[in-house]
Chains A and B, each alone.
Chain A
């Protein structure tokens, strides 16, 4: 039977593969967004500490939450956003950070040392932050834009990109109506929903996307796009016709933090990783690579002056003041879910 050797060989290969998965050296598993860290920073960390990094990606906060909350997998460091950190704290999924082991935390900008989603930064250390705004093509708009209403302007037929994410798209619509973007009020949410449906029905909307928006904008595929400030910087680098604004009606400001889930098998390695990422030169390296703003004051000093003085990268206090963080609305998740189905599936 000739297949027997083949079978044996495959089983052997399987055994080897499984053995390969078992950590021979100390290692940590990092759960982060796609393309959200400078690969060199990971190499430097391994070089210095000898800890191998297994880098795993997620595409939405919610996916990350579900895989952490229900999954058998254990992750040592995760990178959720503000409202998700809040939800994880509420559900007792995080280990408190030992600030004695985080000497580099003192580099953090004062206003993010005590964020409202995690008072006193007990469970999270900020990694990147930014705003949500409109990325627009100045050649197509013919001038600057300062209001959300542009995204409903019927002269931009099939030229507006929104995010395929209920929190972001609905949130900015609530802002445009003058409501709180964390509202639980049914009438306000329904008004925002109707406004989003109107955006589709009037033919203004081209598509809902997430990460592809910056690519589309850089390729002149649309006039306006809802983006995170960091993506705006990347796109403007490629296509100088683009500009970014945080509309006057207010918007969302966000921060992604580093946390240690309770299921971590190597919390010591995890905290060393977090502190390493907060070193000024490493934070600067990451910020430069990703294009998002760093919450690290010492790193800011190391970055290019052009970048630091760019209001997209480093918005003025007035802009920050008119923006607010998302908070967890898990208790009305049903409602948000329904609204999103009504908007995107009819």
Chain B
């Protein structure tokens, strides 16, 4: 028996539940409600209205990724340092929230951010004490949506970074120090370049779900900052225009595969650079 035939169930499953559905989406995207070929769905998505939403979604996802990187890199770096003793337990603490239902976590922010919620009311009391006029409202804003995204995806950034950083051989760092590198130099010339594969996979793991998110904007943004994911959902479950929805899905997928390809090319180049 050739072991490669063990992949048969896998191949069959993937063909039926990955390839066929994507082809089905493509068929819907290139046809109209009557089933005749058309490109109209795509020209609709390229309409400035929808395109604007797509661009905003991408922009927001990029911003979210950047914030996650800025917050997550130091966290992963400190975690990876041997100095902090209960290291395993700390890493677990970063994984734990991912196991809580994503909707529950997001709903909990509602309770914190609404006017009577803990954060907003404390902030407002503080502002009144300082003599400021008026009332701050945190919920239902662009910032609230962005925060919700960062909150949900931060662990996806920290974990791959941590994995890479903790594998850096301490001898490499020591060697650099022995050769007279200062702290900043060790960080920028040794640790950072060695951690780039982790940065690449962290960025991928955050950007991907962030650009397609569709519930967070409704919950924390009060449905005022609809993103491309919301539009796709709206086409499938509200308007019922599956052809347009399919075209949107296809464009979204192409965009993602393209950016992942770029990201991967970048990562490969880095690796080759290291080998040299």
Contacts and interface: CB of A to CB of B under 8 A. Distances in A.
Interface of A: 60, 62-63, 65-66, 69, 158, 164, 200, 205-209, 216, 219-221, 333-334, 337-338, 340-342, 344-346
B239 interface: yes
Interface residues of B, number: 28
25 contacts: A60-B238, A62-B239, A62-B240, A164-B223, A200-B224, A206-B137, A206-B140, A207-B139, A207-B221, A207-B223, A208-B222, A208-B223, A208-B224, A219-B114, A220-B116, A221-B116, A333-B241, A340-B234, A341-B49, A344-B223, A344-B224, A345-B226, A345-B227, A345-B230, A345-B231
Contact of B241 (A207, A219, A221, A337): A337
Given A63-B238, A207-B140, A344-B223, 4 more contacts: A205-B224, A206-B222, A337-B238, A341-B53
B52 interface: yes
A17 B239 CA distance: 34
A331 to B, nearest CB: 13
B142 interface: no
A345 B240 contact: no
Cβ-closest 5 pairs across A and B: A207-B222, A345-B226, A208-B223, A164-B223, A207-B140
A258 B223 CA distance: 30
Contacts of B264: none
B51 to A, nearest CB: 11
Nearest to B228: A345
B56 to A, nearest CB: 8
B239 A158 contact: no
Nearest to B219: A212
Nearest to A60: B238
B222 A345 contact: no
B225 interface: yes
A135 to B, nearest CB: 17
Nearest to A333: B239
B137 A341 contact: no
A63 B237 contact: yes
Contacts of A164: 218, 223
Contacts of A66: 236-238, 240
B109 interface: no
A158 B137 contact: yes
Interface string B5-19: 000000000000000
B137 A62 contact: no
B50 interface: yes
Interface string B113-137: 0111000000000000000000001
Contacts of B221: 207
